[in-house]
Structure 1
Amino acid sequence: MQSHSKSAHNEDIQAMADTLKPRPEFRNIHVTDLAGYRLPPAGWVSILHRISGLLMFLLLPFIIWLFDTSVTSEVSFESFRNAFVAGIGFLPGWFIKLVSLGLIWGFLHHFIAGVRHLWMDMTHSVSKEQGKSSALVTLVLGTLLTLLLGAKLFGLY
């Protein structure tokens, strides 16, 4: 009797397995597969955290120039302000504002994502739901603050 119920159970499992749609299995994602691959919000935050860190590192000479020019003297501060209006050399002022906006986003995203990682490490919050919700908060907060500061940078208020 036991073998009959065991075989019936195995048949039920096989019948359920036959009705399930096979899921694609990604082991090594190729560049051509990226369009069909859905990255979770935590994955986007992780990738953008790395991109924002690289952006800030690569633009470090520009950041140092901005700081040095803004605090050296009143005359250099005026040339700093003028760079955002008239530009620097062949680069127009709007381009300087756009690069600065990229730096603003890079800093804000990197900071918020870093705080998210520290908070998750300190509280041992590693559930899938918590990771998704904190990633969405990071993306939304970083975007909203960037838009707010970008509006100020471009003189909308």
Structure 2
Amino acid sequence: MSKPVKERKSRPVNLDLQTISFPITAIASILHRVTGVITFVAVGILLWLLSLSLSSPLGFKEAADIVDGWFFTFILWGILTALAYHIVGGIRHLLMDLGYFEELDTGAKSAKVSFAITAALSLLAGILVW
């Protein structure tokens, strides 16, 4: 008697992330998580800078020199943009928890609207910082 041959399940296996096409709702959700991490790290950096500025007059001068640089201005713009997207995405998620924008088409539209609002807020943050 021969043993029965196991049939292999033919299912697609794709481990190359560059070839996977994510829907816009997935991109919005992933960006919301990433901006949350960026905001968490930024709080530490900004608290360190506040601590330095309050330590002494010399510390205040050092903090002022750091803030006056072009690189820190760019970092601050990035922090404000990440915070803006995280807030907008958080409001979007709260609305979805209330039962709005749960279908695929309305979810995609709300993701596009959140990207547009964030772009406008990012532009305003750039004007404010520079």
Report the TM-score, using the length of structure 1 for normalisation. 0.63
Considering Cα pairs closer than 8 Å and 6+ residues apart, tell me whether 1 or 2 has the greater RCO: 2
Which structure: larger Rg? Answer: 1
Residue of structure 1 aligned with 2:94, choices 91, 100, 118: 118
Is 1:64 aligned with 2:47? Answer: yes
| Mapped partners of 1:51, 1:28: distance in 2 | 26
Equivalences for 1:61-100 in 2 at 5 Å? 61-68=44-51, 80-85=63-68, 93-100=69-76
- The AA in structure 1 aligned to 2:48 is W
Query: Alpha-carbon deviation of 1:35?
Result: 2.5
| CA offsets 1:2-51 (integer angstroms, 9 cap, x no match) | xxxxxxxxxxxxxxxxxxxxxxxx86642xx2323222211111111111
Contact 2:101 2:110 in 1 (8 A): no
- Structure 1 residues 119 and 77: CA distance shift in structure 2, 3 A: farther
Report the TM-score, using the length of structure 2 for normalisation. 0.74
Query: Alpha-carbon deviation of 1:106?
Result: 1.3
Kindly tell me the number of residue pairs found equivalent between the two proteins: 120
Residue of structure 2 aligned with 1:102, choices 39, 56, 78: 78
- The AA in structure 2 aligned to 1:83 is I
| Mapped partners of 1:153, 1:104: distance in 2 | 9
Is 1:153 aligned with 2:129? Answer: yes
| CA offsets 1:56-79 (integer angstroms, 9 cap, x no match) | 122222121345567899997776
2:33 corresponding residue in structure 1: 50
Query: Alpha-carbon deviation of 1:140?
Result: 1.4
Q: CA RMSD in A?
A: 2.7
Query: Alpha-carbon deviation of 1:146?
Result: 0.8
Unaligned 5+ residue runs, structure 1? 1-25, 86-92
Unaligned 5+ residue runs, structure 2? 1-10
